[in-house]
């Protein structure tokens, strides 16, 4: 039997050669990334995640962040994957042209799904309904009841086939004025059960705009993880919380739930790779990628700087 690694390298070299003949501007790196993605599709699911972009396309002067910085980091990765967002990707203080510019940026980056945060809903359901058709990515939420103009545009969940795997994705949010709210954790659990049991999804993701940790018994992402049963990954957003990397919590069945919340304004992007054996999760690789730090600055120093920003906020 041929060595799989040698065969893989031969495939890269052969396809890169074809690309060089047909499309001189096609880089070998992009071809290798495409091959890497195909190679891993039968054994892994890769998820890239952002939250609380707040309509930032470019960062401010001498500051990290912004959608364009996230795009550059995404393009540098060795494989493609599912790109998702946990809400507040728009900024309610911006005008319509700025909203459209941000949506175009997200479309070009290849987002597949996002949930709604308070920023999107604060601008009003009618206004939001005029913007959703411009989005080439799905928008999900299972615990709000919307006006008729918006209700047919927002899905309670979507199912994405990636490689040989089925991924179910839903979304939830906190109470927002003018929107009928249902218990977020209860709705997330019901939808996750449907996705895992009825739809036979291999991986269930909840995009949660509840915030990392709230007081006075309010729902949050930690409570969601602890009270869940069928959710594999929670992509969190809302309050300014910086995690150096995704964390593992235990659900009601004492099984692992991964919680990822990257920095706000595009400072960070999460990357999680779920590896499978015989359709069962075998191990997970997870980390956060900084979008705009100096190449000479260590990851730890960058995280400390972001935490200073968090505390100042």
CATH of the domain at 280: 3.60.21.10
Beta carbons of 84 and 74 less than 8 angstroms apart = no
Strand (E) or helix (H) holding 256: strand 256-260
Instruction: Give a yes or no: residue 51 inside a domain.
Output: yes
Secondary structure letter of residue 155 according to DSSP: B
Give the domain extent around 30.
9-40
| Distance, CA of 65 to chain centre | 16
User: So what's the pLDDT on residue 298?
Assistant: 47
Q: Max Cα separation, the chain?
A: 64
| pLDDT confidence of residue 305 | 56
Rounded distance between C-alpha atoms, residue 301 and residue 218, angstroms: 32
Instruction: List 236's β-bridge partners, or say none.
Output: 208
pLDDT at residue number 225: 96
Per-residue pLDDT in tens (0 to 9) along the chain, 313 residues: 445 445 444 444 444 444 444 455 445 667 777 776 776 777 899 999 999 999 999 876 556 788 999 999 998 888 889 999 999 999 999 999 999 999 999 999 999 999 999 999 999 999 999 999 999 999 999 999 999 889 999 999 999 999 889 999 999 999 999 999 999 999 999 999 999 999 999 999 999 999 998 888 789 999 999 999 999 999 999 987 777 778 899 999 999 999 999 888 888 899 999 999 887 888 888 888 877 554 334 445 555 555 555 555 4
Q: Judge if 24 and 58 occupy the same domain.
A: no
100 and 244 inside one domain: yes
pLDDT at 292: 58
pLDDT at 28: 62
Are 13 and 127 members of one domain? no
Assess whether 26 and 71 both reside in one domain: no
Dihedral, CA of residue 255, residue 261, residue 262 and residue 264, to nearest 10: 180
Pairwise CA distance, residues 21 & 3, whole Å: 27
Q: Are residues 25 and 79 in the same domain?
A: no
Within 152-264, where are the H helices? 184-193, 221-227
- The pLDDT, as a whole number, for residue 16 is 43
Q: Which residues share a beta bridge with 65?
A: none
Provide the number of structural domains found in the chain.
2
Q: What is the pLDDT of residue 216?
A: 81
The rounded distance, in Å, linking the Cα atoms of 118 and 177 is: 9
In a shared domain, residues 55 and 36: no
**Read out DSSP for 30-85?**
HHHHHHHHHHHTTTEEEEEEE---TT-SSPPTT---SHHHHHHHHHTSSS--EEEE
Structural domain includes residue 3: no
Rounded Cα gap, residues 106 and 46, in angstroms: 18
The answer to whether residues 34 and 81 belong to one domain is no
Q: Are residues 281 and 180 in the same domain?
A: yes
Tokens of 194: 């449907």
Six-digit token string for 141: 């939420």
Locate 6 and state its tokens.
């040698």
Q: Are residues 34 and 151 in the same domain?
A: no
Q: What is the pTM of this model?
A: 0.84
């Amino acid at each position: 039997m041929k060595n799989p690694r040698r065969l893989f390298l031969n495939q890269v070299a052969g396809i890169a050669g074809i690309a060089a003949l047909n499309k001189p501007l096609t880089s070998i790196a992009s071809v290798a990334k495409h091959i890497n993605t195909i190679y891993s599709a039968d054994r892994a699911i890769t998820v890239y995640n952002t939250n609380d972009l707040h309509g930032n396309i470019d960062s401010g002067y001498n500051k990290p962040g912004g959608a364009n910085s996230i795009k550059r980091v995404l393009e540098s990765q060795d494989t493609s994957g599912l790109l998702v967002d946990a809400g507040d990707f728009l900024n309610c203080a911006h005008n319509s042209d700025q909203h459209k510019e941000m949506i175009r940026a997200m479309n070009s980056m290849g987002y597949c799904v996002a949930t709604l945060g308070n920023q999107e809903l604060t601008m009003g359901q009618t206004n939001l309904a005029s913007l959703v058709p411009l989005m080439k990515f799905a928008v999900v939420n299972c615990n709000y009841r919307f006006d008729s103009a918006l209700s047919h545009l927002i899905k309670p969940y979507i199912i994405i086939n990636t490689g040989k795997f089925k991924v179910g994705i839903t979304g939830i949010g906190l109470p927002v004025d003018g929107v009928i709210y249902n218990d977020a954790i209860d709705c997330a659990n019901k939808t996750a059960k449907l996705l895992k049991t009825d739809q036979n999804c291999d991986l269930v993701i909840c995009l949660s705009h509840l915030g990392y940790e709230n007081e006075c018994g309010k729902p949050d992402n930690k409570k969601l993880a602890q009270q869940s049963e069928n959710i594999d990954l929670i992509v969190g957003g809302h309050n300014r919380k910086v995690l150096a990397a995704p964390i593992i919590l235990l659900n009601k069945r004492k099984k692992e739930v991964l919680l990822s919340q990257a920095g706000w304004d595009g400072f960070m992007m999460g990357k999680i790779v779920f590896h499978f054996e015989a359709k069962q999760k075998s191990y997970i690789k997870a980390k956060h990628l900084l979008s705009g730090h100096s190449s000479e600055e260590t990851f730890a120093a960058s995280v400390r700087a972001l935490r200073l920003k968090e505390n100042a906020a």
